[in-house]
Amino acid sequence: MSVESVSLGPARPLPPGHYGPIGQLRSEWTKMRTVRSTLWTLVATIIAVVGIGAVATAVTAARWRSGGIVDHIGFDPTARSLAGVFLGQIVIGVLGVLVMSAEYGTGTIRATLSAVPNRPLVLACKAAVFAVVAFVASEILTFGAFFLGQALLRGSTPYATITQPGVARAVAGAGLVLTVLGLFALGLATIIRHTAGALTAYVGLLLVLPLILQAFPVSFQHQVIKFMPLVIGEHMAATNPNVHAFGGGALLSPWIGFGFLCAYAAVVLVVGGILMHRRDA
Amino acid sequence: MIEAHSLTKRYGKTLAVDSLSFEVRPGQVTGFLGPNGSGKSTTMRVIMGLDLPDGGSAMINGRPYRDLPWPLHEVGALLEAKAIHPGRTAFNHLWMLAQTHGIRRSRVDEVLDLVGLSEVAGRRAGKFSLGMGQRLGIAAALLGDPSVLLFDEPVNGLDPEGILWVRTLLRHLAGEGRTIFVSSHLMSEMALTADHVVVIGRGRLIADRPVAELVAGSSRRFVKVRTPQAEVLTPVVVGAGGTVAPGTDGSLTVTGLSAEAIGDLAGEHGVRLHELTPLQASLEEAFMDLTRDSLEFGGHDVARTVTDGGAVASTAPGGTAR
Ligand SMILES: Nc1ncnc2c1ncn2[C@@H]1O[C@H](COP(=O)(O)OP(=O)(O)O)[C@@H](O)[C@H]1O
Ligand SMILES: [Mg+2]
Contact B145, B74 (CB under 8 A): no
Interface test with A, best of B54, B99, B108 (most A CBs within 10 A): B99
At B213 the pLDDT is 81
**One-letter amino acid identity for A10?**
P
Which distant-in-sequence residues (6+ apart) come within 8 Å of B49 by Cβ? A113, A114, A117, B64, B65, B66
At B117, phi and psi to the nearest 5? -115, 10
Q: In what order do the strands lie in the sheet with B252-255?
A: B243-246, B252-255, B221-226, B275-280
The pLDDT of residue B319: 36
**CA gyration radius, chain A:** 22
pLDDT computed for residue B49 by the predictor: 96
Is the Cα torsion angle B92, B93, B99, B105 positive or negative in sign?
Answer: negative
* Cβ–Cβ pairs < 8 A, chains A and B: 132
B38 Cβ inside 6 Å of ligand 1: yes
Q: How far apart are CA B189 and CA B28, in angstroms?
A: 16
- In a 10 Å sphere around its CB, with 0-12 CB exposed, 13-18 middle and 19+ buried, how is residue A211 labelled? exposed
CA distance B34 to B201: 6
pLDDT band at B310 (very low <50, low <70, confident <90, very high): very low
Between 3.40.1120.10, 3.30.70.20, 3.40.50.300, 3.50.50.60, what CATH number should domain B2-215 receive? Answer: 3.40.50.300
pLDDT of residue B219: 54
pLDDT at A240 over 80: no
Does an H or E element contain B211, and which?
Answer: helix B211-216
Q: How many A from CA of B42 to the centre of ligand 2? A: 7
Q: pLDDT class for B281, splitting at 50, 70, 90?
A: low
- How far apart are the C-alpha atoms of A135 and A178, rounded to whole Å? 8
Give the pLDDT of residue B283.
62
Percent of chain B with pLDDT over 70: 86
On whether any CB of chain A is under 8 Å from the CB of B289, the answer is no
Question: In this structure, what DSSP letter does residue A250 have?
Answer: P
Per-residue confidence (pLDDT) for residue B308, from 0 to 100 = 32
Residue B86: predicted pLDDT: 95
Phi-psi region of B77 (alpha: psi -120 to 50; beta: other; left: phi over 0): beta
Tens digits of residue pLDDT in B105-154:
999 999 999 999 999 999 999 999 989 999 999 999 999 999 999 999 99
B221-280 CATH choice from 3.40.50, 3.30.70, 3.40.1350, 1.10.3470: 3.30.70
Chain A residues whose CB is inside 8 A of the B82 CB are: 106-107
Q: How far apart are CA A126 and CA B30, in angstroms?
A: 37
Exposure class string for B126-158: b at 16+ Cβ within 10 A, else e: eebeebbbbbbbbbbbbbbbbbbbbbbbbbeeb
Q: Which segment of A211-225, A252-266, B41-55, B193-207 scores lowest on mean pLDDT?
A: A211-225
Pick the range with the lowest mean pLDDT from B69-78, B124-133, B251-260, B298-307: B298-307
Q: How many CA atoms lie within 13 A of B74 on its CB side?
A: 25
Report whether pLDDT(A165) > 60. Answer: yes
- Which of A206, A180, A49, A19 is closest to A113 using CA atoms? A19
More confident residue, A12 or B231: B231
User: Which carries the bigger pLDDT value, residue B192 or residue B146?
Assistant: B146
Ligand that lies nearest to the alpha carbon of residue B42, given by its number in the listed order: 1
Centre of ligand 1 to C-alpha B40, Å, is 8
Each domain of chain B, given as residue ranges in start order, spans: 2-215, 221-280
What residues 89-148 of chain B have any CB closer than 8 A to a CB of chain A?
89, 92-93, 95-97, 99-102, 110, 113-116, 140, 142, 145-147
Of all residues in chain A, the one with the smallest CA distance to B113 is: A1
Helical (H) or strand (E) element with A24: helix A21-33
The per-residue b/e assignment along B36-71, b for 16 or more CB within 10 angstroms, e otherwise, is bbbbbbbbbbbbbbbbebeebebbbbeeebeebebb
pLDDT at B253 over 90: no
CA-CA distance, A30 to B143, in Å (whole number)? 17
How many degrees, rounded to 5, is the angle at CA A44 between CA A40 and CA A49? 150
d(CA A218, CA A134): 36
What is the nearest CA distance from B26 to chain A, expressed in angstroms? 11
Q: Per DSSP, what are the bridge partners of residue B10?
A: B15
B290, pLDDT greater than 80: no
pLDDT at A47 over 50: yes
List, for residues B194-227, the tens digit of each pLDDT value. Answer: 999 999 999 999 999 998 887 666 556 788 899 9
A116 neighbourhood in chain B, CB within 8 Å: 71, 100
Phi-psi region of A248 (alpha: psi -120 to 50; beta: other; left: phi over 0): left
Distance CA A66, CA A244 (A): 23
Distance from CA of A105 to the nearest CA of B (A): 9
Average pLDDT over residues B2-19: 96
Instruction: In whole angstroms, give the CA distance from residue A86 to residue A178.
Output: 9
Q: Locate the domains of chain A by residue range.
A: 21-278
Q: Whose CA is nearest to atom 6 of ligand 1?
A: B11
Lowest mean pLDDT among A21-25, A125-129, A270-274, B164-168: B164-168
- Taking an 8 Å cut-off on Cβ atoms, the answer to whether B173 and A8 are in contact is yes
A14, B69: Cβ pair inside 8 Å? yes
ipTM of the complex: 0.90
Determine the distance in angstroms separating the CA of B278 from the nearest CA of chain A, rounded to an integer.
38
Q: What is the mean pLDDT of residues A237-254?
A: 70
Cβ neighbours of B150 in A, within 8 Å: none
Mean pLDDT lowest among A121-125, A141-145, A207-211? A207-211
> DSSP assignment of B263-308, as one string?
HHHHHHTT---SEEEEEE--HHHHHHHHHHHHHHTTGGG-EEEE-T
| H/E stretch holding B19 | strand B14-24
Pocket probe mutation, ligand 1, options B14, B52, B198, B301, max atoms within 8 Å of Cβ: B14
Indicate if ligand 1 lies below 6 Å from the C-beta of B8. no
pTM: 0.85
- Do B89 and B139 touch, CB atoms closer than 8 A? no
User: What is the pLDDT, as a whole number, of residue B303?
Assistant: 34
Round to whole Å and give the CA distance between A85 and A91: 10
At residue B225, the 3 state secondary structure works out as strand
Do residue A1 and residue B165 have CB atoms under 8 angstroms apart? yes
Q: State the pLDDT at residue A64.
A: 87
Q: Which of A34, A99, A100 should be substituted to probe chain B, the one whose Cβ sees the most B Cβ atoms within 10 Å?
A: A34
In chain A, which residues have their Cβ closer than 8 Å to the Cβ of B113?
6
Segment A184-191 shows an average pLDDT of 98
What's the rounded Cα separation, in Å, for the pair A175 and A268?
A: 20
CB contact under 8 A, A281 and B71: no
pLDDT for B258: 85
Contact check, Cβ <8 Å, B101/A109: no
What pLDDT score was predicted for residue B153? 94
Residue A242 pLDDT exceeds 80:
no
Nearest CA to ligand 1 atom 2: B11
- The CA–CA distances, whole Å, from A40 to A6, A103, A186 equal 40, 17, 17
CA angle A91, A94, A95 (to 5 degrees): 95
**In testing the pocket of ligand 1, which one of B42, B205, B301 has its CB within 8 Å of the most ligand atoms?**
B42
Residue A9 pLDDT greater than 50, yes or no: no
B37 in ligand 1 pocket by Cβ < 6 Å?
A: yes
